[in-house]
Structures are given as C-alpha cells and as structure tokens.
Amino acid sequence: MVANTKRLSFQASPAPEAQHAFEQLTTLYGNSSVEDADVIIALGGDGFMLQTLHQTINSGKRIYGMNCGSVGFLMNDYRLDGLFERIDTAVENDFHPLQMKTVNDDGTTSIALAINEVYLFRQSYQAAKLKVTIDGHVRLEELICDGLMIATPAGSTAYNLSAHGPILPLEAPLLAMTPVSAFRPRRWRGALLPNKVCVDIEILEPSKRPVNAVADNTEVKSVLSVRIAQSTDRTARILSDPDHSWSERILAEQFSD
C-alpha cells in the first residue's frame, strides 16, 4: 500500500472496468469512508460523475474522477500511479447547479438540481408548445418545438452541443438556451442568458401536448410549468488534472473534428 498522506474514498460504478479499477486502487491506496475522506475518487463515466457530484453537493468534498466508462468528458485519465501527486496539482472548479421547480398536472410540485442542463421535451407525437418568460419579461409568446434546454457551461458540450447549441467556457457567467427542432419561430436558434436570470416556461395546451422535464437524471412527467434558476446556496467541487482541465477540454472541443 502507498503511504497515505490523504484520506481517499473510492466510489465505482457497477461497470466491470470500474469495479476492476476499484480493486486495484483500494489495494494500492486504501479506502476511507466518504465521511472521513479528504477527496472522493469517482471511477466510471460521466453519468457516474454526475451522480457522485449530486450526492456530495454542499458537503465540501472534492471529487476527482477517473474514466472507467464509455464517455468521460468530465473525467481524468485512468492511471494507477502517482494519484496523490495528481490530486496535489489538480485544478479545482467550484460551481453552482441549476434548480428546476415544476408544477405538475396532478397538483404536485417537484424540485431537482442540474449540473449539466434542464430540458423539456414533448411526451407525445405532437410538438410541445411553450411560453418562455425571463426575469418576468415574456420573450417567446409561443415556441413550438420538440424540446428546449437550459445548459450550464459544464453541460454545454453534452446534449446542448448535440442540439447545435453553443459551447460555453467554464468561467463564462452564462447559460445556453437551446431549442430542439424548433418549428416556430422557425429562425430562432436559441439564446445566451446571464446565469443570474430566472427562466419560467409555461406549457401551452398541456392536455393535448404533454411535456416532461428533466434535470440531469431526474425526470418529471406531465409538467404544467417549470422555473429554472441558479442555486447559489449549493456548491459542487471537482478536481481536474492541469493538462486536462475542464477549461482546456471545453476549449479543445471547439476545435475538434
């Protein structure tokens, strides 16, 4: 076992590759409980990293991810050696998630957090019809589309990019509002918003055109309205290798094939 100068807690996804890495790393470095750890090491892909970040929001724990999955944009490269040194030189990014609050057709309300994005999408064969209000000002009286998302800089290279939304530098105080298959207004391609705004989305004709809302991996079905705003009292902390920092990854993504 390597002399342990930091208390590390290793958490792994169920994937065989991640489980194998867990066995190797815990044998080499030991394994502390999440509560006692100085740093949590997440082993898996981006989905597992998001899950770990959600579980540790406001705990003060720093998360260092290593890619043992199919998609690892949020993760560092997997290596056995030099883990303490990598953590010592890692770049820390602290960020506030989005909070999604929904009013649902059964009279209930739901609250969920999103590190990547909040998105709404049509539930049936008919396009969604949405009214979009930003800080109390109606900006779109009627948006007809398959979906609409609000992405953070951390999430701008995920679903947002696939929907032809802009990539945002991690330090940018912005959110990307990106439609999916907008039919009307036909030429509307989305907007960049200050990250301090409050976005209200009302579902028009909800019985005819039902809509679901998702905050990262939390889905709420048949919503009537959605409010999205940055949750400034919640913080997630992530560590990245300096030669593979989030800022560098986001910049490199804009020049990739």
Q: Please give the pLDDT value at position 95.
A: 87
pLDDT digits (tens, 9 = 90+) for 185-242: 988 999 999 999 999 999 999 999 999 999 998 999 999 999 999 999 999 999 999 8
What's the order of all strands across the beta sheet hosting 117-122? 191-194, 174-180, 147-151, 117-122, 211-215, 218-220
Fold type of domain 98-230: Tumour Suppressor Smad4 (2.60.200)
**Superfamily for the 8-95+235-253 domain:** Probable inorganic polyphosphate/atp-NAD kinase; domain 1 (3.40.50.10330)
Q: Quote the CA–CA distance of 244 and 90 in Å, as a whole number.
A: 9
Q: Please give the pLDDT value at position 252.
A: 72
Tokens 């398959």 sit on residue: 146
Q: Quote the CA–CA distance of 83 and 33 in Å, as a whole number.
A: 18
Pick out the residues of the known binding site: 46-47, 116-117, 146, 154, 157-162
Pick out the residues of the known binding site for NAD(+): 46-47, 116-117, 146, 154, 157-162
Q: Per-residue pLDDT for the chain (257 aa), expressed as one digit of tens each?
A: 665 578 999 999 999 999 999 999 999 999 999 999 999 999 999 889 999 999 999 999 999 999 997 767 788 999 999 999 999 999 998 889 999 999 999 999 999 999 999 999 999 999 999 999 999 999 999 999 999 999 999 899 889 999 999 989 878 899 999 999 999 998 899 999 999 999 999 999 999 999 999 999 899 999 999 999 999 999 999 999 987 666 676 777 777 66
Could you say which of 46, 81, 106, 233 is catalytic? 46
Q: Please give the pLDDT value at position 2.
A: 62
Residues of CATH 3.40.50.10330 domain(s) within the chain? 8-95+235-253
Q: Please give the pLDDT value at position 70.
A: 75
Residues of CATH 2.60.200.30 domain(s) within the chain? 98-230
Q: Please give the pLDDT value at position 19.
A: 97
46 flagged as catalytic: yes
